[in-house]
Amino acid sequence: MLEPSHLEIRESVRRLCADFPGSYWQALDRDRIYPTEFVRTLTSSGFLSVLVPEEYGGAGLGLSAATAILEEIHRSGCNGGACHAQMYTMGTILKHGSPEQKQRYLPGIASGELRLQAFGVTEPTSGTDTTRIKTFARRAPALAKAGGDDYVVNGQKIWISRAEHSDLMVLLVRTTPRDQVAKSSDGMSVLLVDMREAAGNGLTIRPVRTMLNHATTELFFDDLRVPAANLIGEEGKGFKYILDGMNAERILIASECIGDGRFFIDRASAYASGREVFGRPIGENQGIQFPIARAHVQLSAAAAMVDQAAALFEAGEPCGTEANMAKMLASEASWYAADMCIQTHGGFGFAEEYDIERKFRETRLYQVAPISTNLILSHVATHVLKLPKSF
């Protein structure tokens, strides 16, 4: 059953985040340093294992609990992007892995002993058209005396977050060329890569500096060997395996946008109530009031869409369209709120000490990643409204 409030969880998250104020994030942001202490605290508190079933050491809660956690993290001024994949990337193993793989990996993921935060899909030449990925894995005899087979991986990935802070990575590769399959989504497989063994042994990780502190990297595969035992599910069926993970990702990131939006509304409302110009609070002016009120209305509507998408996901119902719409509405609502907050603060909105400009940069990402607004509109146009596809 969906419990949109999760009041106890929210309160616990707020208390935790109070120990990581804006000054903590600003110091890390200047030099693009990973928030290790924050992630360690979230992990030890059990918040990153809420979706792992109890039999593997997690809390066994639904997606709505995870949305509540991430929303409160962002409303508190923190950033869940440093570790949110630890929540949902394991879903590929949970839903499609073998019993042996589940027992081997899930308890460590739940405890935080194993960090599964990297999700290797996007490539420089494919963008958001996942069916056109070129990273290829061919089967070959293992070099080890124990025998068996390996997959030998060659290719490149881009915009892979947290690769330097992960022990494992879920990697989507082609195992059959695109021109040799009946459907373009066929012939792709999912491998679980042990980053501790791969780095420097066929895998090169290159950090990509961006306008925000997001631990983003580019990956290069040069005859990287991955044991065939690390294949998740059936060979050639990998595309459908990652769809559930993508839906969870979009819903959870939408909840982060809701949290960002509430952060901006909270800050703008407080500033407008306390800032006096010409002898009275600027919040008395409708020119200040109305944009804040509009941001609240837009965010409330987006939050309802997030709740609907999470409810469908928890019920095991198809939710691709709803996940996409939730992510689009939430990202646009948070961006409007961010712009409104800057405008309300005037010049002070650009000052680091107010901690608005950092969040302003962070929330802009979500109209581009993990899926762009235009691709969501294309999905709705062709899959929901049945408009003709353009090629």
Q: What is the token pair recorded at 258? A: 């809701």
Residue 237: beta bridge partners?
A: 188
Fold entry, domain 116-237: Butyryl-CoA Dehydrogenase, subunit A; domain 2 (2.40.110)
Fold agreement between 7-111 and 240-384? no
Give every CB contact of residue 4 below 8 A, 6+ residues apart in sequence: 64, 68, 307
Q: Which CATH number fits domain 240-384: 3.40.50.620, 1.20.140.10, 1.10.3720.10, 3.30.70.20?
A: 1.20.140.10
**Spatial separation of the C-alpha atoms in residues 336 and 303, rounded to whole Å:** 14
Q: What is the token pair recorded at 15? A: 């208390």
Q: What is the pLDDT of residue 344?
A: 98
Domains of the chain, by residue range, sit at 7-111, 116-237, 240-384
Q: Which superfamily is assigned to 7-111 in CATH? A: Acyl-CoA dehydrogenase/oxidase, N-terminal domain (1.10.540.10)
Q: What is the pLDDT of residue 1?
A: 41
Q: Are 371 and 128 within 8 A, CB to CB?
A: yes
How would you label 359-387 residue by residue, b for 16+ Cβ within 10 Å and e otherwise?
bbbbbbbbbebbbeeeebebbeeeeeeee
The pTM for the full model equals 0.95
Successive 10-residue mean pLDDT values, the chain, 391 residues? 74 98 97 97 97 98 97 98 95 97 98 96 88 96 77 97 97 97 96 97 97 96 97 96 91 98 98 96 97 98 98 96 98 98 98 97 95 94 92 60
Give every CB contact of residue 70 below 8 A, 6+ residues apart in sequence: 80, 84, 87, 252, 253, 255, 256, 259
Q: What is the pLDDT of residue 2?
A: 45
